[in-house]
Every structure is written in C-alpha cells, then in structure tokens.
Structure 1
Amino acid sequence: MTHPKPTRRQRRKRWKQIKQNWELYLFLLPTLVYFIVFHYIPMYGVQIAFRDYSPGLGITRSPWVGLEHFIRFFESYQFWDLMYNTFSLSALQLILTFPTPIIVALMLNQLMFKRYKKFVQTVIYAPHFISVVVLVGMAYVFFSNNGLVNNLLMLVGMEPISFLAEASWFKPLYVGSSLWQETGWAAIIYLAALAAVNPEIHEAAIMDGANKFQRILHVDIPAILPIAVILLVLSVGNIMNIGFEKAYLLQTPLNQNASEIIPTYVYKVGLQQAQYSFAAAVGLFNAMINLFLLWYVNRVAKRLSGSGLW
C-alpha cells in the first residue's frame, strides 16, 4: 500500500514542529552521530566479504570473488556444527532468560514490605555490574576440579565433576551464569511497567473477589504484555549474536565441540588466522539470519498481539 505524498502545507507544518522542539532534536544528535559513524559508515567495508581482501591492495583494489567465501563456509565440515551450537545455545538462553525476569518482577511487585523489597532488588541487580572476565573467573573458582562445588560434592560422598572440561556442561554453565547475572537487571523494565498500573484497578479487582493470582493474571500480565512482546522480538532478532566474550573465555580444548559458536569462529579465522574476507562473509551470513528472524517474528507478533517494533 503506497502512502500519499505529503503536501506543501504538511511539510511546512512538520518543519514548524521541528523548530518549536529543536531542543529535543538536539538531544538526539549525539545518538544519530554515533550510529552514523560506528554503524552505517562501516557498512562500506562489508564488501570485503565478496572480495579476496588484501590489506596491501585495500578494499576497492582487492579482486572481486562474488560468493566464493560463502560457498566455502557452507561446504566446510564445521558449518552444521557451528549452526547447531550457536542456535541451540541462543535458543536455550532465550527460553530460560526471557520469562525469568517477568516472573521475578511479578513476584517482587507483590511484596508488601518495602524495605525487604528494596533489599531483594539490590541483591539481584548487583551481579549485572560484574564484568564478563570477572564472572568467568568466578566460574573457574567455583566449578574447577578443586573448586567449591566439587569440594562440596566430595564432602557428601559424590564423585567430582569436570564442569569446565566436559562439553555437556558448557551450556548449563553459560546459561546459568546469564540467569544469575542478568535476571534482576532485566526485571527493571517490567517493574516500571507494573508501577504504572492504576491502583484503582487492583482495588476494583479485590472488591470483585479476585485473589492475588487472578490479579496477576488479569491485571499485571496485560499491563506488561506489550513491552514483553517488543523485548521478545528484539531478543529473537538477536538470537544468533550470542555473547562472544563469555563463550570464548569458557572455551577449553576439551569442550570446544560444544562451545565453538559463530562469533568465536569468526574471531579465530578473522583475527588469529587473518582470513578477513572469509570471516566477513561468515559474519554477514550470521547478520542476515538475525535480520530475517527479526522481520518474521515482528510480523507474527504484530498479527497475534497487535504490538511490534514497526
């Protein structure tokens, strides 16, 4: 459906509104400059994915090879392993970490004692401010062969577990640490939405005989549903861009068959092996998957709930 072209009068009215609110647009200027400089201008370099890039020749003088690097990646023996590891780890993290902040926010919203509520909020927010390097260091301290967890297991007569060496434990460690670190912080936006709910709605529900669970189901959840849908669309649209740092730091030669994901693979072939064009092709393919998922999930969400990014 084509939209009608704005008339001259409408354009004048729009410019008049911009002049009246120039301060707000001035606030947006640093953000626009940031995205132009660091996100849009670098898109020029994406063409090295279609060239046999050589730093000596530069981007424009490097020979054009078309889809050669993409075909090489699709035909490599690592392709399906990388796709499975990346998608399964991202999907598991999304399934567990997306609903957990909603549940935590709903539970905190029901607490009557304000001091206890603030204390719990502070405790669960705090891990967000721990850097990834420190978090992985803590994981090594707790889950190494001589770590706290294995010492407790041996204390109760159980055999120690090589958490950092066995491939089957990589995903639980990765997702579990994400749950511990980000749940409290992610719950903030839902708590803000719940705080905006008119108390009179709850009072009317109580007068009608609704218990706490019914009020959560019919008042609180509808209030946060539009925000939850938007965050879900963003999360699914970013599903293949799972964090590189933590996966790389938790990776060992013994768990590499489960921990090797597309971001770590791009880092190794691109920076360590200097295969710049091939790494750019793999990264571009990964970005295209995210773009398709973002578009598709937004379309489905808008059709089902009426809420979406656009």
Structure 2
Amino acid sequence: MTRVRGDAGGTSPPLEKAPASSPADGSPAGRLRRIRTDRVLLLIAVPGLAYFLFFHYGALFGNVLAFKNYIPFLGVPGSEWVGLAHFERMFGDPAFWNAVENTLIIAALQLVFFFPAPLALALLLNSLVGDTVRRFVQSVIYLPHFLSWVIVIALFQQMLGGAGVVNGWLSDLGAGGVSIIGNPGAYGPLVIAQLVWKECGWATIIFLAALSQVDEQQYEAAALDGAGWGRRLWHVTLPAIRPVIVLLLVLRLGEFLSIGFEQFFLQRQSVGPETGEVLETFVYFTGFAGGDFGYAAAVGLFKGLIGVVLIYTANKVAHRLGEQGVYRA
C-alpha cells in the first residue's frame, strides 16, 4: 500500500489497490457469466417465450390469407391471389357491420361498467382493517375466475332462465315471469353482469398491488389536515395509482374490439345472430364453420389494425397528460 506525501509535508490517506479487472457487463464474457448465473430463470422463461413466438408472432404470417382465395387442399402457395377483394366484400357485407355494431356496444359497456369495477372493489378491500377478513374476501372473489364460461353461463341459466330460481320465486308470489335469458333487449347487461361476477375479483390483483405501494404517511398527513375519507381518496390514493390506471386503460383500449369468444359463442343461439354475433364469433362461423378462410382472415386483420390504431392513439394521449403509457415514442 502506497502513501503519497501531501503539499504540507503530511501524508494523504492510503490508496486502496484497484480490484483485479473483470469483464465488463457488455462484453461477451460478461454476458456469458450472466447467462450462467441466471440459467434457471432463463429456462423457466423458455415455455412462455415459445408460446408467444409460435402462437402470436408466428401466426402473423397467416395474415397473407386475407389476400388469397385460400383452399386448404392447395395450400397457401397454390391458392389464388385476390388482392383486396375480401376487404371490398367486407365493407359491403351487412352481416359484418352487424357484428361490428354489436361488438362496439358490448365493448363500450365493458369499458364503462367493467373497467372501474375492479378498482372500486380494490379500494373497498384496501379499506378493510382486519387482514384475516381481507384475505378471506379476496379468496372468495378470486374463485369465479377459475370457473369455465360453460359453468358460469349454466349458473346464470339456472338463476335467470325461464325455469330458473328467480322465475320460480316470482311464480310462487303470483307475479309474471321475467324473460332475461334469451331476451335480446337484456343481452348486453346480462353479458356484462356475467363478466363482472367472473373476472372482477381477479382483476383487482394489479390495483391491490398498486395500493400497497401508497405511502401511509401521506394518509396520516392528510388526516391531520382534516381530510376525510373522500378527500384522502381523491387527493392521495387516486393520484398515487394513476399511472397504473392509465396503463391498464391504454391496454384495454388496444383490445377494445377483442371482447371475448367463448362467452358469446355459448349464448349466440339463445338471442340470435342479429344480437349475439360479435367479431370473434363472426370470424369463427365464417372461416371455420363456413370454410371461407380468406374472408375470415381479412376480418381478423381489420380488427387487429383497428386495435393498433387505438392503442397508439391512447398511448399518445397518455403522454400528453404526462403519463408514461405503455411505451415511450
């Protein structure tokens, strides 16, 4: 260890010997060392990565069917190239616009009624004092998420169907029956009620995680200043979790036209295609059931392009409002 004499004849503090040089993080040796260190985590991520590469990115090559008169026996190379013929047919097809209208109505109902429901439920759960009660309530409201749509719709049929519990109770009271299942006028509120009951509890997980990061000292300071529960919610809680709310809203707008398949497929016949047909079921019945794969691919590509435009626009609006959004442009 070396001492260096100072200007006034004293000595400066001893200089520590520099550690032995090691490969930089960006060097090939550094990257190999990190791979060896995190090899278990990388192996765990392989199935998820393969899923997205094969079923999401790999499936993008199938969009070429939207420009071909696809015949399975001829394959993609042997099928006739028709250009934009499927899109011209799509924009003049009344059945397509009926599916678009039904999709927009249900998507708007989901955005207005379902999107805020998990936030409200998370705020309610976060206000519970006892941890035991909170964990019990969380466990109960999570359970419907693990039920299939077949079971959920069967439960609603048993409750609200023509021979269900509600109509049986009304009959005992001498009142007339209520037509809910199979009633086109009640179809929109019905599917939203099913979605809220099944997925609202599970969707609270992200909001509860965000609420757990709010500084308790801010609540205490607001309470000392005389702020009640409502003002603490408005001025402390919501501003703290606003980035999460904006992020989830942008993602939801990106999937605005993707409202689900199984739920509507199972109930389409009960109300008829005029009310129950959405874009997902339209693609299924046109492509897989009807064999018109090129036209169905064109509809799916159109829906995907609209989703890209929506998420790009919503992300730009989030940036204008000072939020990070999904990505930085």
The answer, yes or no, to whether TM exceeds 0.5 is yes
- For residues 29-74 of structure 1, the C-alpha deviation after alignment (integer angstroms, 9 at most, x for no partner) is 4433322222122222210110011111110121100011111111
Structure 1 counterpart of 2:212, one-letter code:
A
Q: 2:319 aligns with which of 302, 305, 309?
A: 302
Q: Which residue of 74, 94, 105 maps to 1:77?
A: 94
Paired position in structure 1 for 2:260: 243
Kindly provide the CA deviation profile for residues 280-310 of structure 1, in whole angstroms up to 9, marking residues without a partner as x.
1111111111111111111112211322001
Unaligned runs of 5+ in 1: 1-11
The one-letter amino acid paired with 1:21 is R
C-alpha spacing 1:28/1:123, structure 2 compared with 1 (3 Å): closer
Q: Which amino acid aligns with 2:93?
A: S
Aligned to 1:122: 139
Residue 137 of structure 1: CA displacement? 1.1
| CA-CA distance at 1:25 after TM superposition | 5.2
Instruction: Find the counterpart in structure 2 of residue 169 from structure 1.
Output: 186
Aligned amino acid, residue 99 of structure 2:
L
Instruction: String of CA shifts for 1:253-295, please: whole Å, max 9, x gaps.
Output: 5443111111111111111111111111111111111111111
Hey, what's the Cα distance between the residues in 2 that align with 1:103 and 1:165? 30
Indicate if the aligned counterparts of 1:125 and 1:185 stay in contact, CA closer than 8 A: yes
SS at match of 1:242: coil
- Of all paired residues, the percent bearing the same amino acid is 39
What is the distance in 2 between the residues matched to 1:202 and 1:120?
24
Is the contact between residue 144 and residue 198 of structure 2 (CA under 8 Å) also seen in structure 1?
yes
3-state DSSP of counterpart to 1:251: helix
Change (3 A) 1:15 1:172: farther
Give the SS at the match of 1:21. Answer: helix
Superposition deviation, residue 28 in structure 1: 4.1
Asked if the contact 2:187–2:271 (Cα under 8 Å) also holds between the matched residues in 1, the reply is no
Quote the residue 2:84 is aligned against: 67
Aligned to 1:179: 196
CA contact (8 A) 1:167 1:256 kept: no
- Counterpart of 1:42, as a letter, is A
CA contact (8 A) 1:170 1:255 kept: no
Greater radius of gyration (CA): 2
Cα distance in structure 2, aligned partners of 1:252 and 1:153: 26
Specify which of 180, 205, 211 is matched with residue 228 of structure 2. 211
**Which of the residues 155, 160, 166 maps onto 1:138?**
155
- In angstroms, what is the RMSD of aligned CA positions? 1.8
Unaligned runs of 5+ in 2: 1-23
Decide whether aligned partners of structure 1 residues 139 and 236 sit closer, same or farther in structure 2, where only a CA change above 3 A counts.
same
Name the TM-score, length of structure 1 as normaliser. Answer: 0.90
Alignment of 1:1-310 (within 5 A): 14-15=26-27, 18-22=31-35, 23=38, 27-252=44-269, 254-310=271-327
CA distance in 2, matches of 1:144, 1:304: 46
Structure 1 position 122, deviation (Å): 1.8
* C-alpha contact (below 8 Å) 1:164/1:250 kept by paired residues: no
The CA distance in 2 between the partners of 1:215 and 1:67, in whole Å, is 56
What do residues 215-268 of structure 1 show as CA deviations (whole Å, max 9, x unaligned)?
Answer: 211221112111111111111110111111000101225443111111111111
Q: What CA deviation, in whole Å up to 9, does each residue of 1:131-162 have, x standing for no partner?
A: 11111111221121110121223334432122
Equivalent AA in structure 2 for residue 182 of structure 1: E
Amino acid at match of 2:50: V
Q: Give, in angstroms, the shift of residue 13 of structure 1.
A: 5.4
**Match of 2:34, as an amino acid?**
N
- Look up the match of 1:5: none
Structure 1 CA distance, aligned partners of 2:32 and 2:44?
A: 14
Secondary structure at the aligned position of 2:227 is classed as coil
Residues in 1 aligned to 2:50 and 2:31: alpha-carbon distance in whole angstroms? 18
Say which SS state the counterpart of residue 190 (structure 1) adopts. Answer: helix
Pair 302,92 (structure 1): closer, same or farther in 2 beyond 3 Å:
same
Relative to its length, the structure with more helix (as a share) is 1
